[in-house]
Amino acid sequence: MSGVAFFLFTLIYFSSSCCSAARFQHRHRYMERKLMIALASKIGINYGRQGKDLPSPYQSINFIKSIKAGHVKLYDADPETLTLLSHTNLYVSITVHNHQITSLGTNQTTAEDWVKTNILPYYPQTQIRFVLVGNEILSVQDRNITANLVPAMRKIVNALRAHGIHNIKVGTPLPMDSLRSTFPPSNSTFREDIAGPLMLPLLKFLNGTNSYFFINLQPYYRWLRNPMNTSLDFALFQGNSTYTDPRTGLVYHNLVDQMLDSVILAMIKLGYPHIRIAISETGWPNSGDIDETGANILNAATYNRNLIKKMTAIPPIGTPARPALPIPTFVFSLFNENQKSGSGTQRHWGILHPDGTPIYDIDFTGQKPLTGFNPLPKPTNNVPYKGQVWCVLVEGANEAELEEALRIACGRSNTTCAALAPGKECYDPVSIYWHASYAVSSYWAQFRTQNVGCYFNGLAHESTINPGESFVLLPKLDKNNSTYCHGSCGREMIAASFRALLCEEEQLKEMEDE
């Protein structure tokens, strides 16, 4: 072969190879984009099971199909549920428990065993699309879990690839408090304590595997903290109010876009401008404690309906910083979950009652006009409650339940139940009911600013009615006009805003003695 001929052959060969590689990359990007749009077009639902009265997985899956959700996110990898889901067209996300992360991150064999146990028996009949490693791990005290998060994610991907599985993305849901600041969006950055050790390795992994940054997004709490500067309509995707970021000039018409762009711009500042984003949890509470303003059925319905309408739009709307970006989204959640701790809103995010009837009507396809839903009653709690609130025991609790409430309330701090010790001012009367009443009131007053609710596994609730007002006999007044009841017990409760008068029996006894 002449030199000229060889040169031409070589040129044609490498040109053909380059064209083939370019075609492959183009097709790969096309398929990724197609998958991303498919995932985003199917609004998902979070299926949690922390409730006493919830239906079986079989019934729950039928309910999920009835609301026309396209994707279901599990907080575990429950075998029964995954088997049942194989008979549906639902996309599925499964979760690795936080406590499993360290062992997965330190041993490839453990990760392979996890994939063999939790994915291979069900895939591809069950359309698993996401494996979420942990859930809001920043709230976990064990630093080993945080350190092993990305290694665990990498080892799960290795195990999936070893079995030829390439269409399951691996990620981890993080809360908004992973950001140091979020307002304005252009000012957003990740927290200094996690930016280097956690976020940089995580973003590198997500970028390298073409996965998603999953964010748990709850505009309700953002609005609740500062309702004077953020209008309720802005949080609910309605009204005409806007906000313009002073640095970028981007104009925001709702709080969700503002929060999403905070995450996007924080990732850009760490050098990752192209990582896709997904909303792993978002919603609005349908009820809550007395002082949790705006938690009601109308606001929940309005938020979720408008959210679904935005996220299912074709072509995708995206955000001001990422126009036309498809964003996979999971509504939180399928049911109210009455075994969750914390404030009342923690137990009231559901869209269905346990029997499958809707708490409010909703269309997960986004095709129903917003004017096509039946009207809901106007709320009465869209403005802050300004009265007093008491924490009181529910009626009908048995002695074993009261003892459990007493144990919970007195177990955290030595001062909570100090007045109930033998010989102390509130020891008498020796009644489990009154001791438990004092304990829950004292505990709630002491720790309510730390997101402790007046709930105690359903044994207590908030009330706007002073429990002492139902008694004809009023507490005595001492010489300083301070209400008292058996020593200083009553004064302690009033001063600490315990708001539960626990001493009626003592008053009756003292009057009888007089």
How many whole angstroms from its chain centre is CA 295? Answer: 15
CA distance 201 to 189: 16
Q: How far is CA 50 from the centre of its chain?
A: 13
Q: Provide the residue type at 41 as one letter.
A: S
406: CB partners within 8 A, 6+ apart: 417, 432, 435, 436, 439
**d(C-alpha 260, C-alpha 253), whole Å:** 13
Distance CA(30)–CA(240), nearest Å, equals 37
Q: Is 281 designated active site?
A: yes
Catalytic residue among 281, 292, 401, 504: 281
> Which of helix, strand or coil describes residue 180?
strand
Rounded Cα gap, residues 90 and 32, in angstroms: 19
Residues 80, 112, 136, 403: which is the catalytic one?
136
Instruction: Say how many C-beta atoms besides its own lie within 10 A of residue 298's C-beta.
Output: 18
Q: Which residues contact 441 (CB under 8 A, 6 or more apart)?
A: 390, 391, 392, 493, 498, 499, 500, 502
Q: Quote the CA–CA distance of 238 and 166 in Å, as a whole number.
A: 40
What is the length of the chain? Answer: 514
| Cα distance between residue 365 and residue 325, in whole Å | 18
Q: How are beta strands 212-216 and 329-331 bridged, if at all?
A: unpaired
Q: Is 395 a catalytic residue?
A: no
* 300 Cβ contact partners less than 8 Å away, ≥ 6 residues apart: 283, 284, 285, 286, 349, 351, 359, 360
Token couple for 1:
């072969």
493/514 Cα distance (integer angstroms): 25
What's the rounded Cα separation, in Å, for the pair 329 and 317?
13
CB 180 within 8 A of CB 134: no
C-alpha angle with apex 100: 260 to 211, nearest 5 degrees?
35
Q: Which of 471, 409, 468, 407 is nearest to 441 (CA)?
A: 409
Catalytic residue annotation: 136, 281
